A and B are shown apart, each in its own frame.
Chain A
Amino acid sequence: MLKVVPFLALIALIVLAAVPFAVSDYGLGLLIGAVTYVTLASAWALFSGHTRYISLATVAFYGTGAYTVAVLNEVLPYWAVLAVAALIGGAMALVVGLATLRLAGVYFVIFTFGLAELVRQLITWYEVNVTGTLGRYIFLDITARGIYWQMLGLAAVTIALTAYIQRSRLGLALKVIGDDEVVAAHSGIHLARTKLVAFAASAVILTLAGAIASPRWVYVEPAIVFNPTVSFLTVIMALLGGANRLWGPALGAVPLFLIFEFLSAHFPDTYSIFLGLLFIGVVFALPDGVLAGLDKLKAKRTQPKERTA
């Protein structure tokens, strides 16, 4: 079983990489969106899944990545822009993490809660007062297929990294921290450092996702790239699938992305009411995600048989 899964994943990756040759432009747009959210939800869960430190700042990093491309796309070559975006995302995560991850989880949540709004206001202020322009253009010679392949690659790396971390000492340490921080501290885990490493890794991926997705926009301004709905969607996707499972976030991201696409196209005004209701529903009905719910159901079915036997 354990050896079959990576093999299947590799085949799936090859198939997914070939799909753009067979679909329309609209279909490709949907694929890019779905893969982007698979990346975001998996990267979010990389840190928040096991530690249960809820980060509400996904779009702060995602938007920063997109904005970095908007600022630098005419100055630096593309690969260098991506590298700079990753560095900025990592640095932001270190600042946030150093300030809050030494303390109880609630400080982290509060800080990340307002972070996207803060970054948006700061960039807006800077653009209006210093550069005198609000809004930038991204002219890059990257096709939609190119974006798709890059994002698919990032998603694959994210899931592979999650799989690796779950098997490593870091992953074990994160699990213990999520279960009980006092026990974790007593068993010699360096709490702040462990959390910081995982949070920075997650943030770098989120920032890169924003940078890779940015050429789709062409026109970028703070109000567009720092859309709080992205943070919200990421959390609900990861939770629905199961934030502490390897494939949970991806499993939650694909169907929810399609539902949200449908809702935002057909009910643009009442869209966020549906989102809110769905979110509350997930928290109440499936607190550990669909995968854990299925496991529970299986356990219930097999238990009575064992009793009679």
Chain B
Amino acid sequence: MALTTLILGLVLGGTYALLALGLTLQYGIARIMNLAYGEFTLVAAFCLVALFQGAGIPPLWAMIAVAPAGYAVGWALYAVMMRPLVTRAGNSGRLEVDSILATFGLLFLIQGVLLVVFGANFTSISYLDQGVRVLGVSVAANKLIAFGICAVVGGGLVLALHFTRWGLTLRAVAQTPGSAPLVGIDVNRMARQGFALGTALAAVGGASVAMHQTFSATGGVVFTMKALVIVIMGGVGNIGGALVAGLALGLVETFVATAIDPGLTLAATFAIFLGVLLWRPQGLFGRG
């Protein structure tokens, strides 16, 4: 029982960690607080389902298409919608408020489109749902695959950010956007890449959600909320922190759902959030 909770919690946590990673890239590097993040996740999830049910494309193949598509959408969105806000804000603190408002509008826009195209019903697919025994616990294969994808993509990104020159540049922009141009970094370009990469991660996260969870067009807020809380828990811009915090939230949520009530998972998220705010607002792994 405890082991089942642990394994299912880690699987769920893997998806959360990936989602949080994308959000922390968008907020940490591009300085855009994206409240429509969960809606991007849902778009990818619905696309995966549509491709599977409509064209018979297996989700694993679809995912290979979903990630670059997410990157392209993020890139275009940053260039068209966010960049003018960044220019208008200049060095003042306006960007945060403006980006919150603009993405809040985007949230309703995407949600409206999803409702029109896919309807308000809960959606799920059955794909590779036979059980696989892990340490004596039966886990659906699709959950394991989803976890594997999150581990590979998330882990790969952490390594790339820490050990490549490109990763160093991104981290420089995240740390001091004001000084990065002094060493020849094109901040605008890196911000656009960060935002696009974040959207791609949202898409991959959404695709893995579609493989093993039930979801509906109005549930984006909850994804965004959870990803935001994980980002705050891990410390804004802290990639490793977001991964650990994501896994932790998945564990707590699965524990609350099995031991107390599945209807209280958001309450558990908020309880953690409140605890972090009162005790360590700089994040569990933040300095200061």
Mark A residues whose CB is within 8 Å of B: 52, 54, 56, 99-100, 103, 105-107, 109-111, 113-114, 117-118, 121-122, 124-125, 128-129, 228, 232, 235-236, 239, 269-280, 282-284, 287
Q: Is the CB of A54 within 8 A of B225?
A: no
How long is the Cα–Cα vector from A113 to B273 in the complex, in angstroms?
A: 13
Not counting A110-B225, A283-B98, a sample of 6 additional A-B residue pairs whose C-beta atoms are within 8 angstroms of each other reads A99-B274, A106-B96, A117-B222, A125-B263, A271-B112, A284-B102
> Can you list 24 residue pairs at the A/B interface with Cβ under 8 Å?
A99-B277, A100-B277, A106-B33, A107-B232, A109-B33, A109-B100, A110-B228, A110-B229, A113-B221, A114-B270, A125-B264, A236-B105, A270-B112, A272-B108, A272-B109, A272-B112, A273-B116, A274-B112, A276-B106, A276-B107, A278-B105, A279-B109, A280-B81, A283-B98
When C-beta atoms are compared, the residue in chain B nearest to A181 turns out to be B93
User: For residue A276, which residues in chain B have a CB less than 8 angstroms away from its CB?
Assistant: 105-112
Q: Does B278 contact A (CB under 8 A)?
A: yes
> Given A114-B221, A118-B267, is A269 in contact with B101 using a C-beta cutoff of 8 Å?
no
Contact B232 A110 (CB under 8 A): yes
Distance between B209 CB and nearest chain A CB, rounded to angstroms? 18
8 closest Cβ pairs, A-B complex: A276-B109, A279-B105, A272-B112, A273-B112, A276-B108, A114-B225, A280-B105, A125-B263
- B35 partner, pick from A103, A113, A129, beta carbons under 8 A: A113
Binding site for A on B (CB under 8 A): 33, 35, 81, 84-85, 88, 96-98, 100-102, 104-113, 115-116, 221-222, 224-225, 228-229, 232, 261, 263-264, 266-267, 269-270, 273-274, 277-278, 281
- Rounded to whole Å, the gap between the CB of A289 and the closest CB of chain B is 12
CA distance A273 to B115 in the complex (A): 10
Q: How far is the CB of B98 from chain A (nearest CB, A)?
A: 6
Q: B269 — which chain A residues lie within 8 A by C-beta? A: 114
From DSSP, what is the main secondary structure of chain B's interface residues?
Answer: helix
Q: Is the CB of A113 within 8 A of B112?
A: no
- Contact of B109 with A280 in the complex, beta carbons under 8 Å: yes
Give the distance in Å from the alpha carbon of A54 to the alpha carbon of B94 in the complex. Answer: 12
Residues of B within 8 A of A103 (CB): 277, 281
Q: Are A117 and B221 in contact (CB under 8 A)?
A: yes
A279 to B108 alpha-carbon distance, docked (Å): 9
User: Is the Cβ of B277 less than 8 Å from the Cβ of A283?
Assistant: no
**B108–A107 contact, CB under 8 A?**
no
In the assembled complex, which residues on chain A have CB atoms less than 8 Å from the CB atom of B278?
99
**Whole-angstrom CA separation of A284 from B101 in the bound complex:** 10
Q: Considering the chains assembled together, what is the distance between the CA atoms of A54 and B33 in angstroms? A: 12
Q: Which A residues are CB-close (under 8 A) to B266?
A: 114, 117-118, 121
Residues of B within 8 A of A105 (CB): 96-97
CB < 8 Å neighbour of B261 from A125, A232, A280: A125
A274 and B112 alpha carbons, distance in the complex (Å): 8
A contact residues around B267 at 8 Å (CB): 118, 121-122, 125
What CA separation (Å) do A269 and B110 show in the bound complex? 13
Least Cβ–Cβ distance between B248 and chain A, in angstroms: 18
Q: Are B281 and A54 in contact (CB under 8 A)?
A: no
Closest chain-A Cβ to B2's Cβ sits at a distance in Å of 24
Are the CB atoms of A273 and B84 closer together than 8 Å? no
